[in-house]
Amino acid sequence: MTQNPSSTSSTPPIERPEPATAGMATPETEVGSVFVSNYPPYSAWSEEAVPAVERALSGPPQTATPLGLYLHIPFCRKRCKFCYFRVYTDKNFDEIGSYVDALAAEVEALSQQPAVAGRPLRFVYFGGGTPSYLSVKHLHRLVERVQGALPWNGVEEVTFECEPGTLTRSKLEAIRAIGVTRLSLGIENFDDEVLRENGRAHVSKEIWRCLPWIEELGFEQLNIDLIAGMVGENWTAWRDTVARTVDLAPDSVTIYQLELPFNTRYAKGLMQGEVDNSFADWDQKRAWQLYAFEQLAAAGYHQSSAYTMVKEPKQRFVYRNSVWQGCDLLGTGVASFSHLSGVHFQNLDGWGEYLARATRGESTVARAFVTSEEDRLTREFILQLKLGRLATTPFAAKFGVDVVQRWYEPLTALRDEGMLDFGPDEIVLTTDGLLRVDSLLPRFYADRYRGARYT
């Protein structure tokens, strides 16, 4: 899996001319662009709907619906300039310990609710921020309490996100020991100048340092994250990043196109005129992502979604597939998102108030949304389109709806544009459709949500 950082891929690159827009300022990557992760848009959620969360938690458990647990670890060494998550870079050891205790207390309180008590977990996801920022002591402290409330010995998947520079062998041993099956390594790029320009905390030498430890410890699945279109990217650097990734031969590779949500440093700087518009346009980013997909396919990888290539076609992504198919999800930690019994809700996003309420065992919910059957149908439909291939029969069985007839007009329009094809049993996105899927999904939104701010 590991390689010497000076080596290159044996797979020859596809020769492509440098696009005329490469390296030029372009307005096409617009502020507000986002990866679609939910529906209806978060801007439709409100404080007025919060009482529905208590009713959902105190109601009967949906035992036929899988349940997962998301643990938000909001700490980072640095804040990336493209980051839009709730993260902190200024917390000391004791403050992190207080957060760990509050997070554990929140899980313990939720585990006693009638809708949760006694239900087995299908998956656990440590997300960030940077979960690997936690010390071994804090990790053990958190896991001991959470396992006591919601044990995960029988889960199908435990995912743990990592930043290379936070890893030591002893920390990786601790991560492996708590049952992590899928390690997701946020490499993003192998070029140090690109990493520095975009505010990443790590540099390439830290990547090469941790990879042998990961291999020796034998995690069931290693995923590598890359980002197409980071500021300063060019064809030479991107080809090198893809070549190194192919040589590493991870179990899966996830490639995102750089977005500009409103609350990123880049977006704020652009709106205030403090940052030049040096962002690659969408055609450029799609070309880079397509090049990576083609190189991975030539190395034996298979398309798993609009973002992910896998070495083994039967490799599962339990967290992703469960969320996209409408599971119940307990999102714990500051600013986390949950879905339970048809109610969506988000935790408080302020450090002090979240810690105070969680520590006292009180509700930490800030806003919510009660979904309708139509909302849930639309949500699962658009998220599963990201897989690139959607079977219609499961929707007919679950919702009693023929999704082809339900969305015949937008499906026909997208077929005419070369984005997908469809028949009575299946909808299949083309390569062009996969590369721009997030921009296509609003076509299926209800009228009242079209044009709304996503967050």
Q: What is the pLDDT of residue 2?
A: 34
**Cα–Cα distance for residue pair 68/319, rounded to 1 Å:** 8
**Cα–Cα distance for residue pair 337/155, rounded to 1 Å:** 21
Q: What is the pLDDT of residue 392?
A: 98
Q: What is the pLDDT of residue 319?
A: 97
CA distances from 89 to 81, 103, 115, 318 (A): 13, 18, 35, 30
Q: What is the pLDDT of residue 32?
A: 77
Q: Hey, how many other C-beta atoms are within 10 angstroms of the C-beta on 303?
A: 18
Q: What is the pLDDT of residue 26?
A: 38
Residues 6+ apart with CB under 8 A from 48: none
pTM comes to 0.91
Q: What is the pLDDT of residue 25?
A: 34
Q: What is the pLDDT of residue 277?
A: 67
Asked if residue 379 lies in contact with residue 398, where contact means CB atoms within 8 angstroms, the answer is no
Q: Hey, how many other C-beta atoms are within 10 angstroms of the C-beta on 98?
A: 14
Asked if residue 13 lies in contact with residue 240, where contact means CB atoms within 8 angstroms, the answer is no
Low-confidence ranges of the chain (pLDDT < 70): 1-28, 277
Q: What is the pLDDT of residue 4?
A: 33
Residues 6+ apart with CB under 8 A from 407: 381, 444
**Cα–Cα distance for residue pair 413/400, rounded to 1 Å:** 24
Asked if residue 235 lies in contact with residue 290, where contact means CB atoms within 8 angstroms, the answer is no
Domains of the chain: 42-322 (3.80.30.20), 373-455 (1.10.10.920)
Q: What is the pLDDT of residue 9?
A: 31
- Provide the H-helix boundaries in 303-349: 318-324
**Cα–Cα distance for residue pair 203/205, rounded to 1 Å:** 6
Q: Which of 332, 256, 240, 237 is nearest to 82 (CA)?
A: 256
**Cα–Cα distance for residue pair 150/181, rounded to 1 Å:** 18
